[in-house]
Amino acid sequence: MTSPGHPSPGHRAAALLWRAAKPESRHLWIGLAWLAVAAGLDALGPVLGKAYIDRYLLPRDPALAHIAGLLIGALLAGWVASWVRYRQLSRLAGVAMRSVRRIRESVYGHVLRLPMSFFDKAITGQLVSRVTNDTEAVKQLYVQVLFVMLDCLIMLASLLLTMAFLDWRLMLIVTMLVPAVFGIVYLYQKLSAPAVARTRELRSELNAQTAESISGMAVLQATGATLGYGDRYARINSDHYHSRLTELRANALLLRPALDLLNVAMLAVVIAVFGLRETGGSLSAIEVGVLYAFVSYVGRVTEPLIQITMQFSQLQQAIIAAARVNTLLDEAEADRPAAAGRVTDGAVTIDRLDFAYNPGSPVLRQVSLDIRPGEFIGIVGPTGSGKSSLLSLLLRFYPVTEGRLLIDGQPIATLDEAAFRDAVGLVPQEPFLLAASARENIAMGRDLSQAQIEAAAVAAGAHGFISRLEQGYDTKLGEGGARLAVGEKQLIAIARALAGQPRILLLDEATSHVDSETEAVVQQALAQLRGRLTLISIAHRLSTIRDADRIVVLNHGRIAELGAHDELMRIDSGLYRRLVELQQLSTEDDALSAG
């Protein structure tokens, strides 16, 4: 049972299909109406055959002109039916393809608008599979529902109507086929549904593991986890094989063979009933024609029924996929109320700010801080003290739990999205580079002129090395910027952040991975920016924020110390001083071991 709050996969899939096809409902109805016409024309064939037997064959009436008329009529009906069906199925194919295109675009667009909290829990492989594989399965669903199912149902209805017209009692006997076929399908579903669901689940697990191990290959190889991963993959793969085998066995047993047998049985029943009814006397001419028509209809009735049932195995998978796509689409998007606030100077006010990812486990507590426009603020603290979380709040990745976070006096939630993203730049810890040119990596899809891109690169200290690349700004940087040194990647990331002409620049340990020489280059680039925009920089390597106007020392989510480097160093047994001393010790150790 599914509660009203949790619609079944079937309902969710149907809702998705209908939503995507709705803009073309006119095409849909016209197509279905014409398919009904084609089915009617198809059903005409045996009626004409019956007329031929009854009127000309049995009475041995050689009325050639009439016979030719019937023959041409039958041929014409068949030909027109095929033509109409072809045209309408093409029309419906268009509806299906355009609907799937719409679904795929809306799924990807939706994923782009999901809040960052969603990605904390999302598994990349599964999400990728949802956007690509599952939408492909939805296409299959359209093809099955629109072409096979609806076409066959229309054909079935028209055949039954024609049979009722010829002999309603025989039609009732043939109708018994329908529950028998559905009985077989029900049995088939019962046997195979768990296997179908399990197969899909296992396949998505295989995908997820492949994606995970490829992205973490260095760690896998370094820790010798490859063997274990290989074994685990083989286990899942073997489960997948067995589950698919169960599915295929049910398929092989119940679908085609059982239904073919049913067809033969039904023919026997129709002929037997016919024979019994006529035991009193010889068959009249009229009944021979009807018998011919019925024998021909029984074959035609079972075909659409078989077609419908054959689709069921794929239909189940497609319904599950469509339901999953719909569930993803139901996932709440990031809350972006229409807001018109603009960032002007880059002043930040943090007022008794509390934040928790999960209720009851606060990560930031009662943080208060006023940052002036153009100020350079360093943020330091032991691991897990909440530095990145504070940055995430400044980036509006998560809503504030309690307290206030203002930019230029306006609550951060009331700022216009596009203006906010332009005004607040981020240089992340891991520079995320696209497999694209240097220019594209700086522009990131924004409409920027070459002059703006170059100005940003100059300001970031990246112009020099980009110009030396063989094709300058058009040089492809390889996957993840593979052809650049780590420091160069970081400079591109800074150029990218500056290209939006931000008022506030957030740096998340921007120099933690670079050597001292590159750090000096990055530091120089940042020094140039000093005073021109508000700089908020998280640092593990404390030398990078030594010159900051003020340094915030976070500890367990609270501001433990606040002040310039010299002030903080004067605090006896202060946390900052301890962190600096520890780092000096480790640098001396490094120097000693290097010497």
In contact, 526 and 459? CB cutoff 8 Å: no
User: Using CB under 6 A, which of 257, 299, 384, 464 touches ligand ATP?
Assistant: 384
Residue 311 vs 537, nearer CB to ligand ATP:
537
Which residue intervals of 22-63 are DSSP H helices? Answer: 25-52
CB under 8 Å to 454, separation ≥6 — which residues? Answer: 463, 473
> Please, which residue, 383 or 593, has the CB nearer to ligand ATP?
383
| Shortest Å distance, C-beta 105 to ligand ATP | 28
Choices 49-57, 377-385, 444-452, 486-494; region in contact with ligand ATP by CB under 6 A? 377-385
Beta pairing partners, 356: 362
> Using CB under 6 A as the criterion, what x/- string covers residues 338-357 for binding ligand ATP?
-------------------x
Q: Tell me, by CB under 6 A, how many residues bind ligand ATP.
A: 11
Q: Which residue has the tokens 């990807």?
A: 108
Q: In this structure, is the dihedral angle defined by the CA atoms of residues 260, 264, 265 and 269, taken in order, positive or negative?
A: positive
Q: Which is nearer to ligand ATP, 6 or 121 (CB)?
A: 121
Give backbone dihedrals phi and psi of 537, rounded to 5 degrees, phi first: -130, 125
Which of 145/363 has CB closer to ligand ATP? 363
DSSP 452-489: HHHHHHHHHT-HHHHHHSTTGGG-B--GGGTTS-HHHH
Site for ligand ATP in 120-149 (CB under 6 A): 120
Return the range that interacts with ligand ATP (CB under 6 A); candidates 2-10, 229-237, 387-395, 513-521: 387-395
Please state the closest distance from residue 380 (CB atom) to ligand ATP, in A. 9
The C-alpha atoms of residue 550 and residue 496 are separated, in whole angstroms, by 26
Q: Judged by CB under 6 A, which of 12, 104, 300, 387 binds ligand ATP? A: 387
What is the phi-psi region of residue 509: left when phi exceeds 0, alpha when psi lies from -120 to 50, beta otherwise?
left
Q: How far is the CB of 412 from ligand ATP (least distance, A)?
A: 17
Query: What's the closest the beta carbon of residue 541 comes to ligand ATP, in angstroms?
Result: 12
Which residue among 386, 461, 487, 500 contacts ligand ATP (CB under 6 A)?
A: 386
Which lies closer to ligand ATP via its Cβ, residue 337 or residue 359? 359
Q: How far is the CB of 518 from ligand ATP (least distance, A)?
A: 21
Cβ nearer to ligand ATP, comparing 196 with 363: 363
**Contact flag: residue 363 with ligand ATP (CB under 6 A):** yes
Can you tell me the distance from the alpha carbon of 463 to that of 253, in angstroms, rounded to the nearest whole number? 69
CB 385 to ligand ATP: min, Å:
4
Q: Kindly tell me which of 24 and 509 has the beta carbon lying closer to ligand ATP.
A: 509
User: Given candidates 388, 401, 452, 501, which one binds ligand ATP under the rule CB under 6 A?
Assistant: 388
Q: Which of 49, 289, 346, 381 binds ligand ATP (CB under 6 A)?
A: 381
* C-alpha closest to that of 431 among 385, 465, 477: 477
- Identify which of 205, 204, 245, 201 has the alpha carbon closest to the alpha carbon of residue 229: 205
- Say how far apart CA 146 and CA 399 lie, in whole Å: 44
Tell whether residue 431 is a contact of ligand ATP (CB under 6 A): no
Helices (H), 53-176: 64-113, 116-121, 124-129, 135-142, 151-166, 168-175
Told to check if 385 binds ligand ATP by CB under 6 A, we report: yes
Binding region for ligand ATP (CB under 6 A) out of 65-73, 380-388, 462-470, 512-520: 380-388
Least distance from ligand ATP to the Cβ atom of residue 158, Å: 59
Q: Is 119 in the site for ligand ATP (CB under 6 A)?
A: no
Instruction: Give me 290's structure tokens.
Output: 């009807």
289: number of Cβ within 10 Å: 22
β-pairing, 348-356 vs 402-407, is: antiparallel
Beta pairing, strands 504-508 & 348-356:
unpaired
* 541 is an interface residue for ligand ATP by CB under 6 A: no
Give the DSSP H or E segment for 435: none
Among 3, 383, 573, 593, binds ligand ATP (CB under 6 A): 383
Instruction: Catalog residues that contact ligand ATP under the rule CB under 6 A.
Output: 120, 357, 363, 381, 383-389
